[in-house]
Structures are given as C-alpha cells and as structure tokens.
Amino acid sequence: MVGVLILLLFTFSVQGSSLWDPEQPSLYEDPRAGDVGDLVTVVIMEDAQASQQADTETGQELGIELDPGVFLTDIFTRVNPSYSDRASSGGRTQRSGTIVGEITVQIVEVLDNGNFRIEGSKNLTVDGEAQELKLSGIIRPEDIDKHNIVESTRLADVDISYTGDGVIADKQRQSIFEWLLNWIF
C-alpha cells in the first residue's frame, strides 16, 4: 500500500487535448475574404490601346460668265474673274499603355447585392523616384479565388492610377517656355 502511494505521488498528471482548436478556421469553411476589412490581392494585367484618325477635304469654286451682247461686254470679257478654294487636312492620334503588377487592397463596403467595394494603394520609392499605385473598384465574391486573389479584368467600375514623381518625371514635363509656345501656336 505504501508502494502504491509513492507511485501515485511520482506520477505526472496527463492531460488530454483535442486536435480541434476553436481559434483556427474550420477545415470545411472557405477562408475567402467576405467582410469589411478583409484583404484581397488584385493581379493587375491591363493593356489599353487607342487609335483615332480623321481626314477632312473641302472645296469651293466661284466663277463669273457674261453673255455676249451685254452692255459693256468688252470690258467684262477681258476680265475673267474666277475663284477656287481647296483645303484638306488629316490627323492621327495613337496611344497605348500597359500596367502589370499586384496590389493588396481592403474590402471597404459590402454592397446590398453582396458585391464588395475595394480600395487600396501602394507607394514605392526607387532611386529617389516616388511611385504610387492606387486601385478601387467593385468585385463579386465568386471572382475571388481560394487564395483571395482576383484579376483586375474581373473588377467593375475600376479606377487604376499609377503616378510617379522625381527627376525622371520632372524631365518628362513641358517647360513653361514650351507650354507658352504651344499655347501661342
């Protein structure tokens, strides 16, 4: 009996624990973003191209003819007034732009139809050049994949802006002298 008591004193208590942790998401739940504040990564692959062409051609003619036998015909027949005006113009505008990247944004509103309004920005500085990428739009929950990623082509009312500021951006701007000459001419 004394041996059993000594054995009980030196025995460590064993606690049972479950594999289930209530703090972890369920194995059967979908961990997709769906609430205000949840994050979604947007893969931006935008390629925009526009082209416009215009051609114009106008013409105008004016002539005077006098019949013989009209008083003072000798004077008028020697003078042969005639007028002609031709004008043509053409123009072409072509523009293209490509943005490729990723940005993680936040759900800022769940709309009445269940879609999400998202917004986010990313600021980068590379060699003294400050660059800012902003994105906002509306996404459908079913367009978000299991890793909370959505393609930018799946967004509605999307607004993507990419701006830069620094030495290179400054060199691309017109000087006041160039602007003034373009304004005058």
Query: pLDDT digit of tens for each residue in the chain (185 aa)?
Result: 666 666 666 665 556 566 666 666 666 666 778 889 999 999 998 877 777 777 777 777 766 555 555 555 555 555 555 666 677 777 777 777 788 889 999 999 999 999 999 999 999 888 888 889 899 999 999 999 989 999 999 999 999 888 877 655 555 566 676 666 666 76
What pLDDT does 106 receive? Answer: 96
Residue 128: Cβ-neighbour burial (10 angstroms; 0-12, 13-18, 19+): exposed
* Helical (H) or strand (E) element with 170: helix 167-172
Task: Give the Cα separation of 136 and 159 in Å (integer).
Answer: 5
Q: Which amino acid makes up residue 111? A: L
What pLDDT does 96 receive? Answer: 76
Residue 80's alpha-carbon distances to 62, 73, 104, 152, in angstroms, are 11, 12, 78, 69
Task: Give the Cα separation of 123 and 103 in Å (integer).
Answer: 10
Record the pTM: 0.54
DSSP for 102-157 reads: EEEEEEEEE-TTS-EEEEEEEEEEETTEEEEEEEEEEE-GGGS-TTSEEEGGG-EE
What pLDDT does 22 receive? Answer: 65
What pLDDT does 33 receive? Answer: 82
| Cα angle, residue 147 at apex, residues 19 and 45 outer, rounded to 5° | 170
Token digits of residue 132 = 């800012």
